[in-house]
Copies of this chain bind each other. A is one copy, B any other.
Amino acid sequence: MKIKDIAKLAGVSVATVSRVINNSPKVKPETRERILKIIEEYKYEPDHFAKSLRKRQSNFIGILFLRNSLSTEDSYTNPFLSGVLEYLFHHDLKLVLDSCDIKSGLSHYKKLIKSKLVSGFIITDLREDDERIEYLNSINFPYVVIGRNKKNNFIYIDPDNEQGGYLGIKHLYEIGCKKILYISGNKGPVVTQQRLSGVLKAKEKLSVEIEIKYGDFSKESGYKIAKKEDLKKYDGIFCASDLMAYGVFNYMKEKGIEKPLVGFDDLPSSKILGITSINQNIFDVGFFAAKMLHKIINKENVKSKILPVEVSVRESTLKFKK
């Protein structure tokens, strides 16, 4: 069933049918009705490829994941994709998922662009000094980035990691902690700096004592630091990741120590373990990323966005509340 068939059935030319499909105003209402009825009756759908070819536009947006980066452990992708799809759902856009190596990555992007398949990208797994950004900028291709780096200049969307750092300390402070151990992530990633900076801001503003140690975001590093430090010195612990908090949690459980503990990321396990954590609304990250990209594709003006975070208060601090 193609447009020609519908035209024949309706006794009009293909042009008229096309006008109806594309809501052109210059069709007599009765004609339109008649054609719509036939389209409905035969459940006609325009050929997607023919349409895109002729209109010279794609309604695909692309996301390329790093191969094997979608591990079982990752609880980020689900709500993120969910948010993206939720926006696209309402705007007749489709999502092409693909994967690429870190090495051949850029050529994968180029292929999708040169074959005109996608009209924009959501960039994930951002790296410092990212060649993708430079390339996309150089050809002025629409994209939006999840997260930030220091080097490149682009439109991004990012949870407010700094605010998260601030809120974590503030929460501990409010339940009465005066001397807090902050287990930071390693110094490479941008979020490390962001979260730390919030912590330091809180330290200043609330004049609370904070000791800073550096882990690497992993459970093991949390455990190791907890073991090494003399936890008695502190009346609260804040970790820059939930995984590190789990390490600390396990160590404390082993030793029978009980201290207020706050994580960061609000992984599903934190709910189960009852660990207070900083929640970044990942669904919204996906939703707004899609929305912003859509605007960029339509050449509308868009500004980067920083999404608020909040504390998910649970047993690990609740039971110390005075």
Contact = CB atoms under 8 A, between A and B. Distances in A.
Contacts of A111: 45
Nearest to A78: B70
A17 to B, nearest CB: 15
A75 B72 contact: yes
Contacts of A19: none
Interface in A94-134: 94-100, 110-111, 114-117
B1 A48 contact: no
Contacts of A50: 49, 53
Nearest to A96: B94
Given A72-B282, A75-B72, A78-B72, A99 B110 contact: no
A269 B81 CA distance: 21
A77 interface: yes
A70 to B, nearest CB: 4
A77 B79 contact: no
B53 A49 contact: yes
Interface of A: 1, 43-53, 58, 60, 65, 67-75, 77-79, 81-82, 85-86, 88-89, 94-100, 110-111, 114-117, 219, 246, 250, 267-269, 272-273, 282
